[in-house]
């Protein structure tokens, strides 16, 4: 970058190395922490040995610093030097916290990892501790603890859903006047059963035992209303069924959330749309396996940063929850208000209809 006019917003490799050296020297916790590898293109991604998805920094000519966890996964972009230093420290502290808790008595990383990171970052810089606790890129203060049972609203279904039980797809629809019955019909539910208010337990007794429960449930929709959202649960839709954003919009739907599980391939996806557009920071359908406790799963400061913040709240509020999927589902409840009626679903009193003939 010889010959360029250096401004406070232009981050060069030299400036970054000097700033990190000052930061590391001033903290016992970062004394041995190395600056991540730096390049000029994500194609040069080369994490350090033993840190397969470690942070890699790309410096643009305009002074923008970009962070990557793989050549195709950009996680932040900023011209704020302090923010870059924070992200580097966050990564270093995560590795240190993992090392400490893995060798500590008790429940290990699941119980102590996130609070340990928060404490260490606060020791380095109180503002960094606050930023980490917020889960967001800008250091916004966290909301007050939720004070609820984390497994009541949505998270109760998380671990069985991983095995596609009770259903493969959990879909939620929000908008003015949205009807769960109309949503079910659009997806291919039988109109007569939908109009009759048929329950799941009714379907199980209708055929006189000629088919097993799995065969019945495979061609069944369960649906209803929970809070602001209509919900629909199913394994598959009838052949030839197509649901697009225009059809949903005609029913008043402005937001959708779809969670899908394919247990045999360990593929679990989250898809959120608003006003017909996917909210994804241009990453497409998002896989839940990207979530690792203590590491924000989505682009920092991006469209889904509100979920980063909700996940961090869940991690700090409920260290007793051992399942990452349960924590993630609790964060979805907290951020978006998603819920499912546990008793109705387990007792078979939830509204249900089979595929239309």
pTM of this structure: 0.89
The strand pair at 65-70 and 220-226 is best described as unpaired
Residues in CB range of 196: below 8 A, 6 or more apart? none
The whole-angstrom separation of Cα 269 and Cα 271 is: 7
**Residue 287 CA to chain centroid, in angstroms?**
8
pLDDT tens per residue, range 169-219:
999 999 999 999 999 999 999 999 999 999 999 987 776 556 667 778 899
pLDDT tens per residue, range 86-117:
999 999 998 888 877 777 665 554 557 899 89
> What pLDDT does 6 receive?
38
> What pLDDT does 5 receive?
41
The whole-angstrom separation of Cα 74 and Cα 83 is: 15
> What pLDDT does 1 receive?
36
Can you list the residues of the chain whose pLDDT is less than 50? Answer: 1-7, 109
> What pLDDT does 110 receive?
52
Q: Where are the domains of the chain?
A: 13-134, 155-354
Burial of 100 (0-12, 13-18, 19+ CB in 10 A): middle
């Amino acid at each position: 970058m010889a010959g360029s006019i250096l401004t406070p917003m232009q981050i060069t490799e030299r400036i970054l190395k000097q700033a990190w050296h000052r930061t590391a020297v001033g903290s016992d916790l970062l004394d041995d922490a190395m600056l991540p590898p730096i390049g000029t293109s994500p194609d040069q991604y080369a994490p350090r040995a033993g840190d397969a998805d470690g942070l890699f920094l790309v410096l643009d000519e305009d002074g923008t610093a970009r962070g990557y966890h793989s050549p195709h996964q950009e996680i932040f972009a900023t011209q704020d030097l302090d923010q870059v230093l924070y992200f580097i420290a966050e990564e270093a502290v995560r590795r240190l916290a993992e090392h400490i808790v893995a060798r500590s008595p008790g429940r290990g990383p699941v119980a102590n990892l996130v609070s340990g990171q928060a404490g260490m970052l606060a020791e380095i810089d109180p503002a960094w501790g606050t930023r980490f606790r917020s889960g967001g890129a800008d250091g916004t203060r966290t909301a007050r603890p939720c004070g609820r049972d984390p497994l009541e609203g949505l998270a109760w279904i998380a671990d069985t859903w991983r095995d596609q039980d009770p259903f493969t797809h959990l879909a939620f629809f929000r908008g003015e006047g949205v009807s769960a019955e109309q949503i079910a019909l659009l997806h291919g539910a039988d109109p007569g059963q939908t109009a009759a208010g048929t329950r799941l337990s009714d379907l199980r007794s209708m055929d006189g035992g000629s088919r097993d429960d799995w065969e019945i449930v495979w061609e069944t929709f369960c649906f209803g209303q929970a809070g602001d959202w209509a919900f629909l649960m199913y394994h598959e839709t009838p052949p030839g069924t197509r649901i697009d954003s225009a059809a949903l919009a005609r029913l008043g739907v402005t937001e959708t959330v779809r969670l899908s599980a394919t247990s045999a391939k360990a593929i679990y996806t989250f898809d959120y749309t608003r006003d017909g557009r996917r909210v994804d920071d241009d990453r497409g359908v998002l896989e839940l396996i990207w979530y690792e406790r203590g590491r924000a799963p989505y682009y920092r400061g991006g469209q889904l940063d509100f979920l980063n913040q909700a996940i961090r709240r869940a991690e700090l509020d409920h260290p007793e929850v051992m399942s990452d999927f349960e924590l993630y589902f609790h964060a979805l409840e907290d951020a978006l208000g998603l819920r499912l009626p546990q008793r109705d679903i387990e007792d078979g009193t939830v509204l249900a209809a089979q595929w239309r003939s």
